[in-house]
Amino acid sequence: MLRSLTAGFLFISLAHMPAQDAAAPKPDAKAQLEAAQKLVKQISPGVFDLNGIQITAATRELRIPCDILHQKLPIEYALCHETGEKVHETVLETKVKPIQIQLALLLANYQPATLGILEKLDPKEERPYKDKDTEPKTPGANRLAIHVEWKDGDKIKNVPLSDFIQDIDKRKTPDDLDTWIFNGSFIDETGFAAEQTGSIISTYVDRGAIINSAAKGNQRDDLWISMPANIPAEETKVTLIITPGK
């Protein structure tokens, strides 16, 4: 499945990257896409590598190398690039470029769309973004499940990403934090937005991030804090695992 997509990689990537207008992408964004295309390698039958991201065609699983950056802090993000603007508000960081993560998601046949991000927003609340929500061509193709895996002694631990996050009001992980939305970042006058900011997975609604939480209260920037008891030590190397969500 992935092999058949690689030939048209650049075309598909541009077509699925939301933009704030219909104009052609800026040259720098196109160059970034072309550079990422050249990094895709088949490492075994049905398994591909994109600068450290492992993509398994049959299961649509992505495995992204990350590190624990902070155990205890208020957060707006679950994952940022290591040079991102919001590294002081994230649990995880990665060396993998945001544009490469978005392209890996596209290669695994996930479809960017904002439908689902604001589905639990109280109608009385102001929308964090004004644009009308977009829908994936295949229903549910923008919904993700995300886990974190690491080695603890002789054991391999694998937990939902939501286990690292809690609601500051209730002091627990909300049940609806298990579903994440691949909204896809956009191209504007600065280029690919997530590449500029380093924002990859957001708990607080950030239209420029690649992935957003669908949990109730995600419009609040003061709602989410880390769950230190569930997070391995800072600098621990972990793998972020993305699979189709419900």
**Predicted local distance difference test score (pLDDT) of residue 37:** 76
**Predicted local distance difference test score (pLDDT) of residue 11:** 40
User: Could you count the other beta carbons within 10 Å of the beta carbon of residue 39?
Assistant: 14
State how far the alpha carbon of 108 is from the alpha carbons of 23, 43, 53, 213, in Å.
Answer: 26, 15, 11, 20
What are the average pLDDT values for consecutive 10-residue runs of the chain, which has 246 residues?
Answer: 42 48 54 79 94 97 98 97 97 97 96 97 93 96 98 96 96 91 92 94 97 96 96 98 96
Number of domains in the chain: 1
**Predicted local distance difference test score (pLDDT) of residue 17:** 54
Range of the domain at 63: 2-244
Is the Cβ–Cβ distance between 119 and 143 less than 8 Å?
no
